[in-house]
């Protein structure tokens, strides 16, 4: 394992770097700005670079420049790369860009923002990844960690730059960190005390190429762990369940389908942990205010992670009973004329949309799907659509491919929307009659119409609330 950043003099890998050398941060989004600010405040010379011209908040930029930072945009990066010894890449940028190639040609060390955060942070980690459920798991875990008598934080893919969120935490602190495959791809020494993979299903082939590349990126979460650290895996997941043999760390399993000799499971309707010869019941499944079998997996993953951070079963139960879910994940919006509306904008892949459909045991779903196509397989999704929906409303760039797959699987009542997102929601409103439900679960990313899935979810909720007002008028 590479040594961490030990002080402000840039001791990397045991080598004292030339203080005149600078750090090159690639990408001026949330992560890039966050790590640039943290490093500049520590006295490092930082160049924040963006390929395209991008206006930053003037107050932030002024403060960054006052710390000696430089912001360069829309010009050849090579003269600036030559001044630097370390290259930190933002998670949204692939490793195939010309700027990365130039850095490689110069022999620079290239790392992710999450890797730099791990070098700076001296406290304890619970790191969570997965194709689906990682935000719910991380949020639950964060609330459980908050019951500990130490400083805690929730950071990573779930919100702000990891390095910025961790900068004020001490060595006794604990962080619940959600890490995406994009963040993990560029790690070279990150070794969380507790690592958790909730599941792995096909996603982000446009970035990682294929399933093997995607699994390799996810596996970085435990690649540098030591035998005294913990890896939590889903025994029910066909992909992540095969990773245990590759780990040097202690592997702990969870399952919602069977009782395990050790790990987390459901027994007689209770969430149960059996660890180190002791069995503890946390709370009953019926105590949850969130629904869906996928949430039961998230609960077990969070409880196991929290256990190894020192959280008591009583505090886990208190958190679980009060938890109402995360925004944009099967989020109840309102009911109009007896029809319930659910915002599942966070379903940016097919497996997530399948889990959302399966949560509605009686079916009768009017499904809104489509968006920016990730080009993953659609067979399993369309079988779920056929079983659970009364109508499939398709929109966005993916609509034609989704339509062809739906027809192939015998899905009935397919409606293509060539207009706006609001047109699609209003179409669902015009069709839906109780006991049907309207579900936004796109199975696609949002980039064809929106900046991100939270924006898509917020717009959906606003349109639904406007429709509710119209219905009352």
Which positions make up the binding site?
A: 130-136
Contacts 24+ apart (CB under 8 A), 246-253: 246/219, 246/222, 247/222, 249/195, 249/222, 249/225, 252/304, 252/308
The sign one gets for the Cα dihedral 183, 188, 190, 194 is positive
Residue 205, φ and ψ in degrees, nearest 5: -65, -25
Question: Quick check: helix, strand or coil at residue 225?
Answer: coil
Binding residues for ATP: 130-136
Question: d(Cα 446, Cα 454) in Å, to the nearest integer?
Answer: 9
Give 387's contacts (C-beta < 8 A, 6+ positions apart): 357, 363
């Amino acid at each position: 394992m590479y040594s961490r950043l030990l002080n402000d003099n840039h001791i990397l890998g045991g080598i004292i770097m030339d203080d005149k050398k600078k750090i090159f941060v690639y990408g001026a989004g949330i992560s890039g700005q966050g790590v640039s600010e943290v490093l500049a405040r520590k006295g490092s010379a930082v160049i924040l670079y963006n390929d395209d011209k991008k206006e930053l908040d003037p107050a932030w930029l002024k403060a960054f420049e006052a710390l000696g930072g430089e912001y360069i945009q829309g010009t050849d990066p090579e003269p600036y790369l030559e001044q630097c010894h370390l290259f930190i890449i933002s998670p949204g940028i692939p490793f195939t860009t010309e700027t990365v190639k130039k850095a490689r040609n110069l022999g620079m060390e290239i790392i992710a923002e999450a890797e730099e955060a791990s070098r700076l942070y001296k406290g304890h980690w619970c790191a969570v990844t997965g194709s689906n459920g990682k935000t719910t798991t991380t949020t639950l875990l964060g609330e459980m960690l908050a019951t500990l008598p130490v400083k805690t934080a929730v950071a990573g893919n779930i919100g702000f730059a990891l390095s910025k969120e961790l900068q004020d935490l001490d060595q006794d602190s604990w962080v619940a960190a959600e890490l995406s495959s994009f963040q993990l791809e560029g790690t070279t020494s990150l070794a969380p005390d507790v690592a958790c993979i909730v599941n792995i299903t096909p996603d982000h082939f446009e970035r990682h190429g294929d399933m093997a590349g995607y699994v390799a990126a996810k596996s970085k979460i435990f690649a540098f762990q030591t035998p005294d650290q913990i890896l939590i895996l889903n025994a029910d997941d066909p992909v992540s369940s095969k990773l245990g043999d590759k780990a040097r760390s202690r592997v702990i399993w969870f399952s919602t389908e069977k009782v395990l000799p050790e790990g987390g499971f459901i027994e007689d309707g209770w969430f149960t942990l059996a660890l180190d010869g002791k069995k503890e019941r946390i709370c009953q499944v019926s105590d949850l205010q969130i629904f869906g079998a996928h949430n039961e997996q998230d609960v077990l993953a969070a409880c196991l992670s929290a256990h190894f951070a020192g959280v008591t079963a009583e505090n886990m139960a208190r958190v679980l009973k009060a938890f109402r879910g995360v925004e944009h994940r099967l989020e109840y919006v309102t009911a109009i004329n007896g029809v319930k509306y659910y915002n599942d904008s966070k379903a940016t892949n097919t497996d997530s949309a399948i889990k959302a459909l399966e949560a509605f045991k009686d079916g009768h779903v009017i499904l809104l799907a489509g968006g920016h196509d990730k080009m993953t397989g659609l067979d399993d999704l369309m079988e779920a659509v056929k079983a659970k929906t009364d109508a499939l409303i398709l929109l966005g760039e993916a609509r034609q491919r989704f339509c062809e797959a739906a027809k192939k699987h015998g899905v009935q009542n397919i409606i293509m929307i060539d207009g706006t997102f609001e047109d699609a929601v209003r179409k669902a409103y015009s069709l839906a009659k109780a006991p049907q439900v309207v579900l936004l679960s796109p199975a696609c990313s949002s980039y064809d119409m929106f900046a991100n899935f939270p924006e898509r979810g917020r717009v959906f909720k606003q349109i639904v609330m406007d429709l509710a007002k119209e219905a009352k008028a």
